[in-house]
Amino acid sequence: MVAYTKPWMSIEQQISQLQGRGLVVDDTAAATQLLEQVGYYRLTGYLYAARQSTFTVKEDGRPGILILSSYRPGTRLEHAADLIAFDRELRLHVLEAVERIEVSLRTQVGYILGRRSAFAHLEQRNFTPSFVELYVDEKTGETTSKHSEWIRQVDERRASSEEVFVDHFRKKYDDQMPIWALTEILELGDLAILYRGLQNDVATEIATHYAVPNKKILTSWIASTNYVRNVAAHQARLFNRKLVHAPKRPRSATIPLLTHLRDDSAPKQDFGLYNALAVMAYLLRSISGHSEWTGRLRGIVDGFPNVPFLGIDSMGFAEGWDQHDLWSPFTLSG
């Protein structure tokens, strides 16, 4: 392990270093303002694709590519500023879709699971054997289960909640909350864990509400949406991020609107952001606001900055992406 020895740099030194690495900075006042707003590492993260590279030979003898610290000729400070602004607008738009999906999922889980009983979320019969199976936690040495850990996490969330309705259940019903009320304080990550643990018949009924054929696909989509939500909510770079949790691409015959996700010519088809956005757009067709959201997304993508080292394919968008039926105007009553 190597000790970190690089010194602190003033804004002026940061600008000088960027210029020394080939970044064109015509307006030092604008550069100072941008660095004060977003910081050196955030700014250079948006310029990573503009760095020069060279072929190299790895220690094991295999060929590889070495990313250099210098920038390609013509790389400008404005390119970073434009990408940062684009990504900000995209993140806010994505969070709008996530909000609608999360609220809808809360409602459906509470409604469909609650039909079994008010406290169906506590009853092991509603969950898969692997979700309720006991195991010994290596860190604590305690015997627990995925179900028990989920309940513990939700109990902590409920105990710290300052919502009026939560306090009502706390005082009047000895902190007992039916699933249709409890879902209101669950985050998408909580819902993802709960849904993954549900018995197939309950999970499939929820999936059917969104015109999704099975639990396996919707489980993947919820996990992917939650991952994108976390990236966007924490103001991390989103637009050309490689998805850690890529949504499962359904077989062509099961969801025709998403057939194009399996097109071999689609750029970064497995882990590009486009796949997650397509899944969100599909889910919105069963909720509300599909045409409005997709229309504004088209406008945002059309406004992708004119930079020499990146295009919309860096997000997984193929040429003519908005011509697919998925992105056509749609209403619930239409």
Residue 330 has pLDDT above 80, yes or no: no
Mean pLDDT of 195-223: 97
pLDDT of residue 56: 87
pLDDT of residue 12: 98
Residue 322 contacts by C-beta under 8 Å, 6 or more apart in sequence?
Answer: 298, 301
Distance CA 32, CA 11 (A): 6
Distance CA 319, CA 266 (A): 9
When pLDDT is cut at 50, 70 and 90, the band that residue 311 belongs to is very high
CB of 307 closer than 8 Å to CB of 82: yes
Please report, to the nearest 10 degrees, the dihedral formed by the alpha carbons of residues 11, 13, 15, 20 taken in order: -170
Residue 3 has pLDDT above 60, yes or no: yes
Mean pLDDT of 168-195: 96
Mean pLDDT of 220-225: 97
Mean pLDDT of 101-111: 97
Positive or negative CA dihedral for 187, 233, 327, 246? negative
DSSP secondary structure letter of residue 99: H
Mean pLDDT of 79-108: 97
Q: Picking from 59-63, 262-266, 330-334, which range would have the lowest pLDDT averaged per residue?
A: 330-334
pLDDT of residue 270: 62
Query: Max Cα separation, the chain?
Result: 70
264-304 pLDDT tens trace = 666 555 678 999 999 999 999 999 878 899 999 999 999 99
To which residue do tokens 């757009």 refer?
281
Distance CA 135, CA 123 (A): 18
Closest Cα to residue 44, out of 25, 26, 29? Answer: 25
pLDDT of residue 291: 84
Domain boundaries, the chain: 11-75, 83-327
pLDDT of residue 334: 39
Mean pLDDT of 184-212: 97
pTM: 0.92
Task: Please list the alpha-helical segments (H only) found in 26-178.
Answer: 28-38, 40-46, 77-114, 129-132, 146-159, 164-172
Average pLDDT, the chain: 93
For a pLDDT cut of 90, what percent of the chain falls above it? 84
Residue 230 has pLDDT above 60, yes or no: yes
Roughly how many angstroms between the first and final C-alpha of the chain, as a whole number? 61
Closest Cα to residue 320, out of 256, 274, 281? Answer: 274
